[in-house]
Amino acid sequence: MDGYFHSVRIAPERCTGSMACLKVCPTEAIRVRRGKAAILEDRCIDCGECARVCPRNAIVPQTSSFTDFARFQYTIALISPVLYGQLRKEVMPRTIVAALRKIGFDEACDVACASEAVSTAVDEYLASYRGPLPLLSPFCPTIVRLIQARYPDLIDLLIPIDSPMEIAARDIRQKKMKELGLRREEIGVIYLTPCPAKMVAIKYPPRKKKSHIDGAIAISDIYHPLLAATSDMSGDACKDGQSVTGSGLGWPVLGGQVLSLRAERSLAVGGLDDVERILEEIENGKLGDIQYVECHACPQGCCGGSLTVDNPYVTRGKMLSLLARFGGTPCQDRETVRELYHRNYFSLPGKISSRPLAPLDQDIAKAIEKRKRVQEICRVLPQINCGACGAPTCLSFAEDVVLDQAPLQDCVVLMARQAPSEAGSGKDHAA
Amino acid sequence: MSNEPVFCQRFEISGKDFINAGKASTTIKAILREIGIQPAVIRRAAIACYEAEMNVVLYARKAIIELRVTPQEIRIRVEDEGDGIPDVGLAMQPGYSTASDEIREMGFGAGMGLPNIKNNADTLQIHSVVGRGTTLEMAIGL
Ligand SMILES: Nc1ncnc2c1ncn2[C@@H]1O[C@H](COP(=O)(O)OP(=O)(O)OP(=O)(O)O)[C@@H](O)[C@H]1O
Ligand code: SF4
Ligand SMILES: [Mg+2]
């Protein structure tokens, strides 16, 4: 509506109107009209579920490509730790860092260490917080969008702490500007992302004007170059590289944030359905005894993001084994991080705006009238949610009719029932 | 005044139906969002409606929840068939509960439901007949 950037785009020439996307969209943001899917922009929360199920790959994630970064003198790959769990053979994180340099980045920088620091910041925040509970993790951009659209009254529960990718990007850029004497705009920091939602968070960070990151490349796009680059580098080939350690290695796994926190009463929830269930409970005034809820749109956490390549369970297993081996060695001194926290190094002062779904009408009396018409139309609809009309449910179709987005005749079941019965008269079903 | 629009919808709910418990409240919330009610008001309606719905699931046989929305107010009426409440004044006291151990293990029975409804609704009337059932009517002004 407002020209908002979205994580996915439908390529109409590839779309065959198969309706797989229609049914999985959690916010009912897709309609199939004249045989092609279209996204209702103001409803989309960038979860990427549609792209996962599309049999024709007609839903294209809006990430960057390598050529977008030619304008930079110096490029830095920012590594989501998910990447460490993507290669089937045993390759140590620091070898992956080295391989990325081989691919053509000038530098590669790990985010797991920033995740560890952010965990400490969250601990500090929880320790001094006295407001309503539970607080919610703000690190999955899809969940933030879901809350903005559907649970605007819960916005203030999102912890105002910046995400690990932003913290890591700011740190490495500053370091390199000093080291190399380059200006801000000469350095490109590029996130290797497990999902398209992070790209939206980079283009439109919810609490601040501008991200510290310049673009994002899908893990699925870097995967094959990386495989090639590591083909002659197995195991711990890069002994001189900086090792990647600390509890941040567990962050991509569902429950990894909770594990790295000291808070005793917390829980982790993955998958939009289950997250919605938890948010409903919170809206109903429940779960006030929990301090922190880690929420991921993806059921397995980021290791199952829609732009990852390997099986999410295999990735999860690898991440857990990395965590067991290297998670116990902190990568930063906790006291230093605490001091930084108290100097507001991690905090995000801005407010997250709500983006509630548009009501049926801005005028409440008219909205009530329209909702009554929706109800009346629903009574005549077959209530089988077949999707043939191009809307995901009979209820959403009724809303479309009331809002003049679709004619009632689009319900083929209703039309068939209302049609004079000469169609059936020729055949004798009784036999 | 007479042609002021009224939206009205009824929901049937059953006692002991823990699988569907809370679904009526969720649907009511969605309707209020579509009508464009302020989030803070929806939140209050949600809490009050959910507590009333759970009380039916825990303590009554079945009920009809009726939602009415006008440009002036949201009105929710929960009429159940069940054992009724012998002493409504007592039941309204924070912390009072007759919940069994089993119910407490499920996380209910803090005796905060009715007080929460009272705090979140602008008006609340309870009418109960022992052996017949309870009717709860709450309104939230817009
Ligand atoms: N619809 C009802 N039918 C019969 N008894 C009820 C009904 N609603 C409430 N009560 C009685 O009133 C008591 C207090 O209800 P209230 O909702 O305040 O607390 P609770 O349900 O026991 O605990 P909580 O709501 O905190 O989980 C209940 O324990 C029950 O004895
Ligand atoms: S859980 Fe992680 S991978 Fe999935 S949408 Fe959220 S941030 Fe992206
Ligand atoms: Mg109760």
User: Is residue A196 domain-shared with residue A163, that is, in the same domain?
Assistant: yes
Residue A370: CATH number of its domain: 1.10.15.40
User: Is residue A377 domain-shared with residue A240, that is, in the same domain?
Assistant: no
Ligand 1 binding pocket includes B60 (Cβ within 6 Å): yes
CA separation (Å) from A421 to A175, A380, A413, A427?
77, 18, 14, 11
User: Is residue A139 domain-shared with residue A281, that is, in the same domain?
Assistant: yes
User: Is residue A32 domain-shared with residue A173, that is, in the same domain?
Assistant: no
Residue-range definition of the domain harbouring residue A3: 1-62
CA separation (Å) from A165 to A28, A78, A114, A427?
30, 8, 7, 66
Q: Is A285 within 8 Å of chain B by CB?
A: yes
- % of chain B beyond a pLDDT of 70: 99
pLDDT of residue A241: 58
User: Is residue A16 domain-shared with residue A55, that is, in the same domain?
Assistant: yes
Q: Tell me whether residues B142 and A372 touch, CB distance under 8 A.
A: no
CA A276, chain centre distance (Å): 14
A266 located within any domain: yes
User: Is residue A375 domain-shared with residue A250, that is, in the same domain?
Assistant: no
Domain ranges of chain B: 7-141
Q: Terminal CA-to-CA distance of chain A, rounded, Å?
A: 56
pLDDT of residue A62: 87
Among A350, A410, A409, A356, which Cα is nearest to A204's? A350
A255 located within any domain: yes
Q: Terminal CA-to-CA distance of chain B, rounded, Å?
A: 16
Report, in angstroms and rounded to the nearest whole number, the Rg of chain A calculated over CA atoms: 24
Q: State yes or no: cis peptide before A134, omega within 30 of 0.
A: yes
For chain B, give the mean pLDDT.
95
- Cβ atoms of residues B9 and B75 within 8 Å: no
* Ranges of chain A whose pLDDT falls below 50: 1-2, 423-431
Q: Tell me whether residues A153 and B43 touch, CB distance under 8 A.
A: yes
Ligand 1 binding pocket includes B57 (Cβ within 6 Å): no
A231 located within any domain: yes
Among A418, A407, A423, which Cα is nearest to A382's? A418
Among A166, A117, A95, A78, which Cα is nearest to A330's? A117
Q: Tell me whether residues B36 and A361 touch, CB distance under 8 A.
A: yes
Among B70, B68, B67, which Cα is nearest to B25's? B67
pTM value?
Answer: 0.91
User: Is residue A231 domain-shared with residue A256, that is, in the same domain?
Assistant: yes
pLDDT of residue A23: 92
- Hey, what's the torsion of the CAs at A410, A414, A419, A422, to 10 degrees? 120
Residue A412: enclosing H or E segment and its boundaries? helix A412-418
pLDDT by residue (tens digit) across B33-84?
999 999 999 999 999 999 999 999 999 999 999 999 999 999 999 999 999 9
pLDDT by residue (tens digit) across B92-129?
999 999 999 999 998 899 999 999 999 999 999 999 99
Q: Which ligand is nearest to the CA of A26?
A: 2
User: Is residue A268 domain-shared with residue A228, that is, in the same domain?
Assistant: yes
Cα separation of A234 and A249, whole Å?
20
Q: Which residues line ligand 2 (CB under 6 A)?
A: A 140-142, 194-195, 197-198, 296-298, 301-302, 305
- Nearest CA-CA distance, residue B38 and chain A, Å: 9
Residue A375: enclosing H or E segment and its boundaries? helix A364-380
Maximum alpha-carbon separation in chain B: 51
Indicate the residue among A62, A90, A105 that finishes a domain.
A62
Q: Compute the average pLDDT of residues B3-19.
A: 94
User: Is residue A35 domain-shared with residue A142, that is, in the same domain?
Assistant: no
Four-way CATH pick for B7-141: 3.65.10.10, 3.30.565.10, 3.10.28.10, 1.10.760.10: 3.30.565.10
Q: Is A364 within 8 Å of chain B by CB?
A: yes
- Nearest CA-CA distance, residue B11 and chain A, Å: 13
Q: Which of A283, A357, A361 sits opposite B46 (nearest CB)?
A: A283
Q: Which ligand is nearest to the CA of A303?
A: 2
pLDDT of residue B135: 98
Q: Which ligand is nearest to the CA of A51?
A: 2
Q: Tell me whether residues A371 and B22 touch, CB distance under 8 A.
A: no
Q: How far is the CA of B66 from the centre of ligand 1 (A)?
A: 20
The token pair at B102 is 């089993």
User: Is residue A201 domain-shared with residue A166, that is, in the same domain?
Assistant: yes
Tell me how many domains chain A contains: 3
- Cβ atoms of residues A291 and A133 within 8 Å: yes
pLDDT of residue A100: 92
User: Is residue A151 domain-shared with residue A52, that is, in the same domain?
Assistant: no
A243: which DSSP letter? Answer: P
Cα separation of B131 and A53, whole Å?
53
Among A133, A220, A115, A87, which Cα is nearest to A171's? A115
How do strand B73-82 and strand B60-69 relate by DSSP bridges? antiparallel
A19 located within any domain: yes
User: Is residue A137 domain-shared with residue A264, that is, in the same domain?
Assistant: yes
Say if residue A178 is exposed, middle or buried (CB neighbours under 10 Å; 0-12, 13-18, 19+).
exposed
User: A with B: how many residue pairs have Cβ under 8 Å apart?
Assistant: 68
pLDDT of residue A132: 95
pLDDT of residue A420: 67
A167 located within any domain: yes
Q: Which of B11, B35, B142 to mutate to test the interface with A (most CBs of A within 10 A)?
A: B35
Residue A28: CATH number of its domain: 3.30.70.20
